[in-house]
Structure 1
Amino acid sequence: MGKKSRTAVLDKPAVTGDVPVVGLREPCPCGSGKRYKQCHGRAAKAEAAKLVTRPFEGLTGECDWVAMREIVPAATATVTLTQEYGGREVTIVTLLPMAWPAIHRADGAVLAALQTQGGSGDPSRDVAAAILRALETEAGQPVPEAGLPGPGPRLQDILEAQPFEVQMQTGFEFWFDDPDGLDEAAKASLQQANDTAMPSRRLRSVEAAYWVDVNGRRHLRWVLPDDETQVLDGIARLHAAGGSGIVEGSRYVGSFRADGVVVPVWDVDATTEADDLEEPMAAFEKKLRTAMKKTTPLTDAERRAKAGMLNRQLTLR
């Protein structure tokens, strides 16, 4: 897993290799006489800002990593660090209070969030940096936002290869080791957070498909690792033939790109529950895979369908 990921990281500038990170206004350790931010700090910042278009590629369950970062309001998953980095378990979560990158809970558990503010051009590096900082943080303390992390290991470098099993949560009780023991103020804050969490379910019949209820409007969002052109061509072929819906009352409404993969979206009827989609989604996946394998040019109707789809496409990152 780790070896594949390293090819995705842009080469590090040689000038930053042996120069320690210091405060931006401090003299650069290289001895140039310039402030760090005007010397090697500038190169380090530029390196951190470089965009990795598919940051979770090479991780087991890449599409679920993307879903937890972009779609799911409340969920957790357990990962294990390699022996080089301590070999302990870490809980990956969607969100932490105050958008903290990570927290070292009082019970010793380390939680690292995917939905944070700011960050570099490589979310994999950001989360890995937050995990490593949390390991050095006193138990009971959060890991605050610290700006761009600079060069360093990525998730693909620090995690063991193992199944990435998303555990959907109805609220954010996982923030605390003892949610029942909170004082009234903390309970009120937790309830406020829980009230904002959209009901969501992960389907079992296909990988990385999520039913989401947004204020009474229900959607299916399906994160796919396949080539985007093949996915959209396949859906266009089905759409032109009147077969792009999943169940009665569903409608394909477009797609968005997130972390280098494509996420088709369907509206479903307000009475459709996640369980109602299990068998139809398994059947739809077979139809889509068959359509994606076709190599004949799109027909006029299929091209028009695809053009309409592209007009409704967004890029989140």
Structure 2
Amino acid sequence: MSRRSAVKNARKVKAQDSSGIAPRQPCPCGSGKRYKACHGSAGGVVDVPVARPFEGLGGECELIALREFVPSGTAKLPLVTGDREVTLATVLPMAAAALVRADGVAFVGLQVQTRSNDISRDLARAVRWVLDAEPGDVLPVVGPETDPGDKPERLQDLVDLDAPIEAAVHSDFTWWMPEGSEPSGEVALSLERANSAILPTERIGPAAYWVDAGEKAHLRWVRPEPEEQLLAALARLSARGELGLGEGSRYAGSFRAHGLLVPVWDLDRELHAREWAEGAEQLGVRIERALASLDAEPLTGEERRARDGLLGRQITIR
């Protein structure tokens, strides 16, 4: 190696700190600032966003669905700590991070603004807060200031990792209120706004949700497989003409959410959600078989072209 090359390479190494991030790169926290002016500044904390915050949890796929696109849903949290039952909720009144109703029922919100780069850590903070809260208490936001101790916990530290999370989908937000009570003031206004924004949604399989978006319906299905393997399996089915759920369905594309891929199908909205359940189940079986065949049977040329087509069909949900 020449002296000039050695000096050049040394400068490259020096241009990065122990995080491996160059000072002039965009900060990975998503602030829009350069790293040197954000988390890489003097006194800054290297807090790289966690790409897959729910990894290791038995309900990872359901949590992603509840966090990203289920409008009104709840799920009991399988805690291994504390004496209070805690329910995860998609949205709480006035977008609170957590609350305890007047009747003592405790909720932690999923669809909230995060204050750190790890959603799992923020949820753990909210859970710790709600375990000690009194009836009527509300936690508007959660962040580092709500840490109960010096060692930040994550949701994975507080729950049974092997326990599934069973999501319940609701047609409105009346579950916000204790049975027989009437909302008033800001809560009533928040309830009215939330109900008016709901897209009809039903769960038709594990982490598989039918959504009526207006002009058409969709199946949004959070899949646990690594993206590369899943795309290869979907490509295999596409090349065989087996990627649909039956007549009136069409593969639309996919989006990424918290480290996992979420394939989406357009569906005939004239059919009820329950009428797609069997097609989704059969498609799931085909996906599993295609995944199992990948080691023994590499993709053919036609299947590779199908995969390239699937890669170009990234979509954005609203």
Alpha-carbon distance change, 188 to 87 in structure 1, aligned in 2, over 3 angstroms: closer
Aligned partner letter, 2:82: G
Alpha-carbon distance change, 311 to 131 in structure 1, aligned in 2, over 3 angstroms: same
- Picking from 85, 91, 94, the partner of 2:87 is 91
SS at match of 1:220: strand
**Cα offset, 1:59, TM superposition:** 1.4
Partners of 2:303 and 2:78 lie apart in 1 by: 45
SS at match of 2:112: coil
- Picking from 77, 97, 100, the partner of 1:104 is 100
Instruction: Decide whether the 8 Å contact of 2:102 with 2:136 is kept in 1.
Output: yes
Query: What residue in structure 2 maps to residue 135 of structure 1?
Result: 131
SS at match of 1:301: helix
**Cα offset, 1:225, TM superposition:** 0.6
Instruction: Decide whether the 8 Å contact of 2:78 with 2:160 is kept in 1.
Output: yes
Instruction: Decide whether the 8 Å contact of 1:173 with 1:179 is kept in 2.
Output: no
**Cα offset, 1:182, TM superposition:** 2.4
Aligned length: 271
**Cα offset, 1:163, TM superposition:** 3.1
**Cα offset, 1:38, TM superposition:** 6.7
Instruction: Decide whether the 8 Å contact of 1:234 with 1:292 is kept in 2.
Output: yes
Aligned partner letter, 2:65: A
For structure 2, the 5+ residue unaligned runs are 1-18, 20-40
Q: Counterparts of 1:109-128 in structure 2 under 5 Å?
A: 109-128=105-124
SS at match of 1:313: coil
Aligned partner letter, 1:248: E
Query: What residue in structure 2 maps to residue 25 of structure 1?
Result: none
Q: Structure 2-normalised TM-score?
A: 0.78
Deviation sequence 1:241-276 (CA, Å, 0-9, x none):
222111201000111111111111000012122111
Q: Counterparts of 1:1-317 in structure 2 under 5 Å?
A: 39=43, 42-43=44-45, 46=46, 49-82=47-80, 85-148=81-144, 151-161=151-161, 162-178=163-179, 180-183=181-184, 186-203=187-204, 206-295=205-294, 296-313=297-314
Partners of 1:186 and 1:50 lie apart in 2 by: 36
Q: Which segment is superposed worse, 90-99 or 140-149?
A: 140-149
Partners of 1:258 and 1:184 lie apart in 2 by: 35
Alpha-carbon distance change, 77 to 226 in structure 1, aligned in 2, over 3 angstroms: same
Partners of 2:316 and 2:54 lie apart in 1 by: 16
Instruction: Decide whether the 8 Å contact of 1:102 with 1:143 is kept in 2.
Output: yes
Alpha-carbon distance change, 113 to 79 in structure 1, aligned in 2, over 3 angstroms: same
Partners of 1:274 and 1:99 lie apart in 2 by: 28
Instruction: Decide whether the 8 Å contact of 1:104 with 1:143 is kept in 2.
Output: no
Deviation sequence 1:47-71 (CA, Å, 0-9, x none):
xx32222211221221101110012
SS at match of 2:77: strand
Aligned partner letter, 1:285: G
Aligned partner letter, 1:153: E
Query: What residue in structure 1 maps to residue 30 of structure 2?
Result: none
Partners of 2:58 and 2:168 lie apart in 1 by: 15
Instruction: Decide whether the 8 Å contact of 1:50 with 1:120 is kept in 2.
Output: no
Alpha-carbon distance change, 92 to 170 in structure 1, aligned in 2, over 3 angstroms: same
Partners of 2:114 and 2:57 lie apart in 1 by: 22
For structure 1, the 5+ residue unaligned runs are 1-12, 14-36
SS at match of 1:181: coil
Partners of 1:142 and 1:111 lie apart in 2 by: 10
The percent of aligned pairs where both chains have the same amino acid is 42
Q: Structure 1-normalised TM-score?
A: 0.78
Partners of 1:310 and 1:75 lie apart in 2 by: 31
Instruction: Decide whether the 8 Å contact of 1:66 with 1:223 is kept in 2.
Output: yes
**Cα offset, 1:107, TM superposition:** 1.5
SS at match of 1:293: helix
**Cα offset, 1:186, TM superposition:** 4.5
Note the aligned Cα RMSD (angstroms).
2.4
Alpha-carbon distance change, 216 to 188 in structure 1, aligned in 2, over 3 angstroms: farther
